[in-house]
Amino acid sequence: MTPGARLAAAIGILSEAETTRLPLDRALERWAKANRYAGSKDRAAISAHVYDVMRTRALLADRMKSEAPRALALAALKLAGGKSVDEIAALAEDGKYAPGPLSEEERAQLEGAGPAGPHDPRNLALNYPAWLDPYVERAYGEALERELAALNQPAPVDLRANLLKTDRETLQADLAAEGINAQPTYWSPWGLRLSSPRRLRGLKAIREGEAEIQDEGSQFVSALLGAAPGDKVIDYCAGAGGKTLAIGAMMAGQGEILACDVEGRRLKRLRERAKRAGLFNIAVEELGPGGLTGMEGRADRVILDVPCSGTGTWRRQPEARWRLTPEGLIRYSGEQAAILEEAAPLVRPGGLLLYVTCSLLREENEDQIAGFLEKHAEFETLPWSACLPEGWPRPGEGAADFLRLSPASTGTDGFFAALLGRAA
């Protein structure tokens, strides 16, 4: 492909992602499948450009006075790629598959486009919607710039060794034999971090259930449940089951896990993954209106990985920050409170409830727990590390009740976790 054709492809992918609201990685995959003539270097260059746009979108839109994918893609060539306006103009006309000549307005906007300066609003440099300013200020305070800057960096790829079939050292050696360099993760004794991102679905370890793709932070919060062989566990918002499978391995495949979700298609994927992982103690149930019935007071442990804004995953899904709205955040908060109310009765007296989000906003985290405890005197907050397996490192200092992970503080995706105990 010519450089101009690559630019046109990036614009097309950005347009499709915006129109369909597909995750950015899915939009890139769809384009690659439909354009198999594109080589690996073409795909890498197009992907890099698309992510450059999303990781600088606030500044690009401000400088171009437009949120159109073409305007953003052109501006990214200058502000993220360091190209001159003449070089950009040449790219835009580079062959019949290029996006086409610059308009006078585009050239004028590009000529005046410069980096974020000291007089610009901070959301332009840190790449987030201006309406979120009071929310991130409340979440981070003085650490705001460091934390949000880390959310603009590329995310690593982590694997979790399935201890029912292998161990971390053996998995590392098996990956090396396939030409993949991976190093042990620090926070999770189950994890390996790849030295460079690559497509993994065809790996023998993945095909045979010896490894799962799972961020180190997700592995860590799964361990907080402290699930043991013989326990009865409910994963109330299981989704495709990453945490379900990690918990099942903790339980050595013994005991009972009921994985629930409102989307049956995601549970179908979990069934397939559980079989591959050698976990036959996992049952699934699609939730209808009113939640799960007939299980009140029967679960030793319940994990709620609730729907949320996903602010902790912005480095992995940079487009998500532009799809979040004030109304959406209110909706998430309502859903979280409702799920807590539905799931709390499932915990037996003396049992545990683990509340998890991949959000960094207090409205979805500390505020939710405070509101829940006001209504439920039978529950109390426990130290987040109360059930963490012996020998695991403990991020952060002090005796805080809640766990916070973030790219800046732990090098993981952003997570919040609160462990609650029900009175016996």
CA distances from 224 to 157, 253, 395, 424 (A): 22, 18, 12, 20
What 8-state DSSP symbol labels residue 255?
S
Q: How far apart are CA 391 and CA 47, in angstroms?
A: 40
- Order of strands, sheet of 191-194, starting from the edge strand that comes earlier in the sequence: 182-184, 191-194, 158-161, 211-213
Classify burial at 20, counting beta carbons within 10 Å of its beta carbon; exposed 0-12, middle 13-18, buried 19 or more: exposed
97 and 8 in contact (C-beta within 8 Å)?
yes
What token pair was written down for 250?
A: 């903790």
Residue 133 host element (H or E): helix 133-140
Q: For helices 242-250 and 264-277, what crossing angle results, to 10°?
A: 40
Structural tokens at position 84? 């001159």
Active-site residue, from 237, 260, 308, 358: 358
Q: Which residues pair with 299 in a beta bridge?
A: 347
Tokens of 139: 């979440």
Using CA atoms, how far apart are residues 310 and 324, in angstroms rounded to an integer?
9
Place of tokens 């200020």: 137
Closest C-alpha among 261, 198, 190 to residue 222: 190
308 is catalytic: no
Residue 199: helix, strand or coil by DSSP? coil
Extended strands (E) in 6-164: 158-161
Active site residues: 358
